[in-house]
Structure 1
Amino acid sequence: MARRSTSKPLLSEADAPARSRPRKPRDPAQPRLLLDPMPGRVEPCLALLKSKPPKGPDWSYEIKWDGWRGAIHIEPSGVVRVLTKNGHDWSKRFPAVVEGAKQLGVASAILDGEIVVFDEMGRSDFGLLQAALGGPRGRLPATSAAFVAFDVLYLDGHDLRQTELKARRHLLEGLMIAGDAVIRFSEDFEGDPDDFLAAACEHGLEGIIAKNRNSTYRSGRLGDWIKVKCVQSDAFVIVGYEPSIGAYGGFGSLLLAARKASQLVYVGSVGTGFKEREADALRKLMDKIPCKRKTPPIPYSGKRQVVWQQPTLIAEIAYRGWTGDRKLRHSSFKGLRELQDDAALYDLDSGD
């Protein structure tokens, strides 16, 4: 795998000093802060999907973690919150992450990162994260979850979003606790990104993220961060299932739909990737959905025996590509997503 880059003191980069925006007036609601008021929430910077990583000295490269995007808020009052991508407070679901953040020893901070559970090989695994929460739509506290931090947006009264990434990463690495901590630093690597991507895929990782080292933190999907996946993985809505007596959960496959011009369009089915307990829990969820349909909620001309349902549940699906008629190839079920998490349905128009 590519060699990890070594951190350099910021003062040694005389030709590229870290820049910061002017101070803001003190917020009366947060009188203890000397500089910038702490944001209640920051819309995340999102990675743009590309087939190849960008190259050049302006880019750094990290592993793409397979979990839930999240943010840790260490507030001036001492309260620690764990927020999802869409701003929902899931602190009670991740008590170990909350306690780990308290050990960092900072007065206030906002850390951007990924909530993960590692397998025995040290790889993040979305299915293990969902299992730690008690299965599909589970609400158990995931005591085995960790937080891989890859950015710091606010630190001890300073809003860092207008500071370059290389400076933010330098500060972030300095916060990390050595050893097998719950809050971990997402290391970056140097060298040929094609080699790094090949190594990531060989080790069974989801892919890599390329980030512009000189970029400020901009919310949205603007191209400052680029993701390249080993295997495609996206969110699709479940619109029905094929009943099967001998299969786990009593269903042979799930029928899936994506978004197209504000409508739902059938994109094929998935029949692999289910564990027994997971399939049983998923079937119970599907049976609880009200208003079973006699007709499909999407245009459908197939001949399968299907139990149609309201498009309520959203599944994360890994797949190898698309057929000529825009159906998923070699699909596999990874788990359920939640709207309050980051369940953005795959859009056939944008390919995003």
Structure 2
Amino acid sequence: MSEPDLRPMLATLTDKPFDDPDWIFETKWDGFRAIAVAKPGHASLYSRNLIDISRKYPTVCEALSAIKQQAVLDGELVALDAEGRSRFQLLQNAGREAVRLLYCVFDLLYLGGKDLRGKPLIERKALLEKVLPKNPLLHYSAHVAGDGIKAFNKAKRAGEEGVMAKLASSLYHSGMRTRDWLKVKASQEQEVVIVGFTAPRKSRKYFGALVLAVREGNRWEYAGRAGTGFDAQTLRALHEKLVPLVTDKKPIAEKVPDEAHTTWVRPKLVAEVKFTEWTKGGEMRHPVFLGLRTDKKPADVIRELPKHIERRK
């Protein structure tokens, strides 16, 4: 097999679920995107920005090494809660406490030296289901055809993140964001860059809230402050990462609340937050910190607003 292209295909956020017989619908997993390169006896995992994360997930790599042919797979590394739902926050603790890890695989890009990206998705998934090793750490991401609204409502009732809608005949375009794959979110989440933190108050230690921003053209634009979602261990660990990034230069132009008690940091850390809605001024209302992301570059973090998509057949 020639050197495989490990850049993942990306989806576009859309505004509402839909029914369409030409589309399939899968669970939207709440974790880290990961491309697996596997062959009998050995496997490696790569993040969305092509960093080798194999050492962080050795048990998953061992499970993938049982594959019987050379293969490149696309999926999501997740941690499950007691109800079996994927939770990004739990994945943050995978290194320091026992969590139920799972690699949810939804696509097959190469197999036995052959490039499958030019084949329809539905054919790639049929092959994937056959070759994925049977292991409690590996999960084939099943789909339903046509009934997108029903799938979305089921995901919402179950407290899941939403659904992925994919054109059944779609090809795999490595490194591209496409409208052949759509994500329909049941809850509002956004990747942000940390540009500062406020002083702690009362009994809290280390910091009060994180000052958040997104990329807008060639500048950083204020997106709100997150003051919840931290336990004592997270506060300390995050503060240790922020202190080396402290700067006198304010990264954003906008004046923010409590600016006199804000410490600015260089925009290097990417975080995931959940929130209720965007305000007219472009801020997130009630953002809650979920965890840091190491799989995305700060410059790639833009405000993600749902679009109404005209789907192609």
Q: TM-score, normalised by structure 1?
A: 0.80
Q: Verify the 8 A CA contact 1:69 1:342 in the aligned structure 2.
A: no
Given candidates 135, 160, 167, the residue that maps to 1:212 is: 167
Q: How many residues align?
A: 303
Amino acid in the other structure paired with 2:148: P
Q: What corresponds to 1:277 in structure 2?
A: 233
Q: 2:12 aligns with which of 48, 54, 73?
A: 48
User: Which residue pairs with 1:92 in the alignment?
Assistant: 55
**C-alpha offsets along residues 274-326 of structure 1, whole Å, 9 cap, x if unaligned?**
1221112111211232x532x52211323502112222222111122210111
Match of 1:21 in 2: none
- Structure 1 Cα separation of the partners of residues 35 and 194 of structure 2: 28
Pairing partner for 1:187 from 123, 139, 142? 142
Where do 1:1-352 residues align within 5 Å? 37-75=1-39, 78-104=41-67, 106-134=68-96, 144-178=100-134, 181-190=136-145, 192-219=147-174, 220-246=176-202, 248-289=204-245, 291-293=246-248, 295-304=249-258, 305-338=261-294, 341-343=295-297, 345-348=300-303
Shift of 1:151: 0.5
SS at 2:144's partner residue? strand
Q: Which residue of 2 aligns with 1:22?
A: none
- C-alpha distance in structure 2 between counterparts of 1:155 and 1:208, whole Å: 27
Instruction: Write the distance in 2 (CA, Å) between the matches of 1:66 and 1:163.
Output: 27
8 A Cα contact 2:21 2:145, kept in partner: no
Q: Closer, same or farther in 2 for the Cα pair 1:197/1:297, shift >3 Å? A: same
Identity value in percent: 35
Amino acid in the other structure paired with 1:72: A
**2:310 matched to which residue of 1?**
none
Q: Which amino acid aligns with 1:347?
A: I
* SS in structure 2 of the partner of residue 57 of structure 1: strand
Could you tell me whether the CA contact under 8 Å between 1:61 and 1:211 is conserved in 2? Answer: yes
Higher strand share: 2
Q: Distance in 2 between the 1:267 and 1:48 partners?
A: 21
Q: In 2, are the aligned partners of 1:243 and 1:252 still within 8 Å (CA)?
A: yes
Shift of residue 52, structure 1, vs aligned partner: 1.5
Give the match's secondary structure for 1:196. Answer: helix
Q: Would the aligned equivalents of 1:68 and 1:342 in 2 still touch at CA under 8 Å?
A: no
Counterpart of 1:342, as a letter, is K
Quickly say closer, same or farther: Cα 1:143–1:319, change in 2 above 3 A: closer
**CA distance, structure 2, for counterparts of residue 79 and residue 272 of structure 1:** 41
Larger-Rg structure:
1
Would the aligned equivalents of 2:42 and 2:61 in 1 still touch at CA under 8 Å? no
Query: What CA distance in whole angstroms lies between the structure 2 residues aligned with 1:119 and 1:188?
Result: 21
CA drift of 1:238 comes to: 0.9
Contact persistence 2:18–2:149 (CA under 8 A): no
Say which SS state the counterpart of residue 170 (structure 2) adopts: coil
Alignment RMSD (CA, Å): 2.2
What are structure 2's unaligned runs of at least 5 residues? 308-313
Shift of 1:264: 0.4
* Contact 2:14-2:184 at 8 Å conserved across structures: yes
Q: 1:343 and 1:350 mapped to 2: Cα distance? A: 19
Distance change (3 Å), C-alpha of 1:247 and 1:184: farther
Evaluate the alpha carbon distance shift between residue 58 and residue 189 of structure 1 in structure 2; reply closer, same or farther with a 3 A threshold: same
Secondary structure in 2 matching 1:117: strand
Deviation at 1:177, TM superposition (A): 4.3
1:8 aligned partner: none
**Alpha-carbon spacing, 1:302–1:168, altered in 2? closer, same or farther (3 Å):** closer
**Secondary structure of 1:71 counterpart:** strand
